[in-house]
Structures are given as structure tokens and as C-alpha cells.
Structure 1
Amino acid sequence: MKSIREAGARERSKARRDLDPYSYVSCWTEDEVMDNQECKALVLILATKGCSWALRSGCSMCGYTNESSSSATDESLWQQYLSGMKNFAAQRVLKIYTSGSFLDTFEISLDLRKRILQDAFDNFDMIVVETRHEYINRKNLEDILPYREKLVLAVGVESSNDLVVHYSVNKPSLFTHFISASSLAHSMGFRVKSYMMFKPPFMSESDAIRDAVNTIRDLSQYSDVISINPTNIQRDTVVELLWKSGAFRPPWLWSLVEVIRSSNISGPRLMSKPTGAGTVRGAHNCGRCDERVLKAISSYSVRQSLDVFEDIDCSCRKTWERELMISRFGNYFTESNYRIRE
């Protein structure tokens, strides 16, 4: 395990790019749901100095450390934000992402944080920012209290099983710490969106389904929205090293559907918008049915009705069922996960 992590760190170090501090990483418009209605969201990724955890060690699946700028300053980040706002076209939601945590002063200073949030508050109906749970403390929340009406704190929980988080994800996090952070945020009037990682490395397909269902159940008490994030293959990561050696396959889309169907929760909205889905680097089926299954998953994320899956089928479902059965007996190298195609 240690040697794999060290190899991942070497790959990240070799490939890391130092981006222009005045240019954002990416900006686009996507579909979103607000107040149970479909709307548009503007997504802006800022090139900060990078995730503090990634610079020390890093999560097994995350390649976002490559999207940072060591020379970023308050002024350059503000210019990135203003450049991104040129894409504003009456979107109701703004999602501000960094390679780590919006509430970490190493990436976003308090003054800049307030400056960005004030401008966003004046122009959008909902603002989503990502942060690790350790930065959700009373001091940080009091500093952004004026914006709580529109602010959603998105937190990467990954799994409610601490062993999975520690050994599979390589993240210094405990579920009890998330519970404390979420409870504090809710008590102060903030909303919480939880990200869970579906099928971390070193986990079979069947175990991944079980872990996801358990995690969704555990998250339901502490989340306003739960986002199922199937693991995708990002470059220069531990997960990519495993994938290239044939030791990892991103989850089947059928598995994602199974998780949704098996998660009988009330309260939070359950959703999934898989990155890289339908490609060999993302959650996928056989290629023939991927688009139809993804459309059903997208529809479920809006409607919250399992009816969208009733007429979805494909011959590859039999292959998935067979591999699921095999994986329950510990034979991880099934027929589809050792064929690597680009």
C-alpha cells in the first residue's frame, strides 16, 4: 500500500503543471436542480495554489493537483473570477471549485472569500463551494454567515466506512468528524451537499455497491443533497496506475443504477452526474447502452422517481450480473476489467 501511494506521489510530482495565475482552469454551463426545478448553473474552476492535502500526500483518485498555480495571489484569483463571470448569462446557480477547499485560507484568503461571495450573492440564487470538513468550523462559518441563505457547502465524504477512506482513498478523515461539521453547519443555517465516492480502488464491484448503499443511508441524516460520484481515471494518480496494470475498472453503470434503486432514503435529494461516464476512464457499460442508462440516471437526479429505470435493459446486463457474482467470491480480475482501451 505504501509503495503504491509513493508511486502515485511520484507520478503527480512529475506531471504537475504550474498554471498561469491569472487564468482560470475551466468554466462552463451545466444543468442543475434548484427548488425541485431544472435550471442552469455556471461552473468556475479557479487555479489556486492547490489542495494542501494533495501537496502533502493526496487522495488515490484525485488528479486536480495538476490544475493549480503556485504563484496565485488574491489579485490574480480575483481576476480569474472576473474572467469567469464574463460567461454569466442569467444562470441561477454558481459553482465555485478549486483543486482543494474554498474555506482553506492557503487557497482562498478570508478577504478574497468574502469578496467573491458578495459578488456571487448579488448575482445568483444559489452558490455552491467545495471544502474539506476540517475547514467547516465556527470561525469560518461566522465569517461567511451573511451569505448562508444562498450558500451550499459541498463536502467530499467518500464513504462512511473509515477503513475505506483511510486505505482506499488515502484521506485523513473520520465520519464522526463529518457529522460534527455538518451538524454545526446546519445549526448555523447552511446547507450541506455530500459527495460519496462509488467504487474506490482495492474494492470489488459487489463490495462497492454495498459500501455505497450503506454510506448513502448514513449520510441521509446529515445532508441536504447526496451526490454519488463513480470513480473515474484521472491522470497521474494511484487509480490510473492500478487501471493501467489491469487491477481496476471503473464501476458499471448498472452498478450505479443498483445503488440508486437500493437506497431507499427520504429527505435529501439523491443524484449522480458521473465524470467521464460512457468512456473507458469513467463509469460505463458495453458502449451500446451507455447513453440510454446515463439519460435515465440524469432524469432520476431531477425527478427522484425510480420509474425512469423500468424500461432500461441491454444484453450486457447479463455480463454485469455474472461479474457481480464472481466478485462476491473475491476474484477481482473479471473478464471486462483487464482489457484496457484508450
Structure 2
Amino acid sequence: WAHHSGCTMCGYFNDSIPDITEKEIARQFELALQKYQGEKIVKIFTSGSFLDEREVPTVMQRKMLEKFFEKADKVIIESRPEFIENISKIEPIPKNKVLEVAMGLESANDRVLKHSINKGFTFSQWRDAAKGVIDRNMELKTYILVKPPFLTEAEAIKDALHSARKVSDISDTLSFNPVAIHANTLVEYLWSRKLYRPPWLWSVAEILEGAAEIFDGQIKCDVVAGGRRRGAHNCGKCDGAFLNAVERFTLHQEKNAFKKLKCGCREEWLDSLEVEGFIKG
């Protein structure tokens, strides 16, 4: 997708080499196995779609899963929805083992998917693929983007929580991903011209607290470049405390992690919720 069109915020293409052979992937896998110490949960992160045969040949998909499932209880893979049907090629999953499939939805709003993110699919297409995961008795992790471009701070909060509600019945885990500014992306173009600001950590806290009220499963949040200009941040003084709270919320599902956080920049954040739609940046 990145080479055909690409999502507005995604910088994976900067670090991915397109012409990797099966032999080279096998060698990378062998090196990874040398570091594997029998951890019970393994995530295979390919910066793309594990089930896309152009990225990881089916033979290697099977080999990786078979090897990790010898000791791991759970393996996590990522995929775009159009490749979910390829799961049939790696079945069956060993008895008493769990395969979790993580799919980036980003937003349940088709206008946001098309015009803000350029995701390349609709919510109904994503949901059909998600049902394919659940029908196979596999677990589903849903990625939701926090503050896609062209949305105000207030709109971004509403969109994230709306998306959480729309997938709460089918997801085992929700993972909220605040936008970070990656090189050579449309988001960087907007940011460099003061037409976009990464989300406030106040907004991240608001979304996580709101999601906990409507979703009973695991809720996670990975703040890339948190506290920096290119990532979700507040004023700088309170960023560390907020990031620690996000970590506690994610690792321990500590729903009250943000309750005692205070900072003078809260007023500026509240102002931005009211006026951002009337100004640039």
C-alpha cells in the first residue's frame, strides 16, 4: 500500500527494503531465534502485513509460527484487512495456543479513513476482515489513531472514542496510537508549515479514560516520540508524569492513572479544544 499510495502519517517505507529474498528473511529469523529465551508471548513485527506473501512468503510464515509456538503460548502478528483471508494458509493453530491478529483500523469514520488517513479501505471492509479473525477463534487487536490530520483536537478525541465504541463488540484489545511526525509524510509536510500539531497528552488521557468506560478488554497505548515536538506532548514540564501514567495504564490497566495529574497547561489545552477549528496549526 505504501508504494501504491500510502497512509498520510506512516513512515514505515523509510526503513523498509522492498527487495528482500526468502533466504534473507530466513537468516533474519535465525538471528532472532538466537535471542529468543522462551518468552510466552511473541510479537512478529514486520512494519507491514505478516500475511502479505510479498512481504513474508507463506513458507516462512508457517515456519515462524511453528517454531515460536513450540514454547510461546501466544503469538501476535499484524496485517491489513485485505490479507486476512490468507490465514487459511497458516492454519491450524496448535491446540491451547493463541494467535492474535492486530489490524489497523485507525478510525471507524469512512470520511476520516479516506480523506485524513488515505487508509485504502472502508470501515465495513475492515469489519468483515475482523469477523474473519473472530470466526476462527483467534484474538483481535484493533489499532485506533489519535488525531489524524485535518481533525481538530476536539474532533480527534470524539473520533477515537467513537471508533472504540464501534469495535468494542468484536475486539479483544484496543491499542490507541497517537500520531508522531515521521519523515517524508504528508503529516510532516503539514507540521513543518504549522498546519498540524501532534495530540496533547491531555487528549490521550481523555481518550484512554473514556475508552475504559465503554470497553471491558485490554486497552493499550504506545506514545511514539512522547514528550517531543514530533510526538504527543503537553508543555514539557508535565510530559514525563503523563507518559509514566500512560505506561501504568497500559501495563497494569490502572484506570485511575491520570486522576492526580495537574499542570497549568491544562487551560491551554482546554482553549485549544474550543478554538483550534478557527485557527491554523
8 Å contact kept, 2:164–2:215: no
CA RMSD of the aligned region, Å?
1.4
Equivalents in 2 of 1:242, 1:332: separation in Å? 14
Count residues with an aligned counterpart. 278
1:215 and 2:159 correspond: no
Equivalents in 2 of 1:129, 1:239: separation in Å? 26
1:312 and 2:261 correspond: yes
Equivalents in 2 of 1:237, 1:147: separation in Å? 37
Query: What is residue 228 of structure 2 aligned with on the other side?
Result: 279
Report which stretch shifted further, 259-268 or 221-230: 259-268
8 Å contact kept, 2:58–2:90: no
Equivalents in 1 of 2:251, 2:230: separation in Å? 25
Equivalents in 1 of 2:135, 2:47: separation in Å? 27
Query: What is residue 239 of structure 2 aligned with on the other side?
Result: 290
Query: What is residue 321 of structure 1 aligned with on the other side?
Result: 270
User: Taking structure 1 as the reference length, what is the TM-score of the superposition?
Assistant: 0.78
Q: Secondary structure of 1:136's match? A: helix
1:91 and 2:39 correspond: yes
Q: 1:30-109 to 2 correspondence within 5 Å?
A: 53-109=1-57
Amino acid at match of 1:54: A
Matching residue within 77, 86, 92 for 1:146? 92
Structure 2's unaligned 5+ residue stretches are none
Amino acid at match of 1:292: A
8 Å contact kept, 2:99–2:138: yes
Query: What is residue 244 of structure 1 aligned with on the other side?
Result: 192
Q: CA deviation at 1:90?
A: 3.9
Q: 1:166-315 to 2 correspondence within 5 Å?
A: 166-263=114-211, 264-315=213-264
Q: CA deviation at 1:145?
A: 2.2
Query: What is residue 278 of structure 2 aligned with on the other side?
Result: 331
Q: Secondary structure of 1:254's match? A: helix
Q: Secondary structure of 2:44's match? A: strand
Shift of the 258–332 alpha-carbon distance from structure 1 to 2, 3 Å rule, reads farther
Structure 1's unaligned 5+ residue stretches are 1-52, 338-342
Identity %: 36
8 Å contact kept, 1:204–1:332: no
Q: Secondary structure of 1:232's match? A: coil
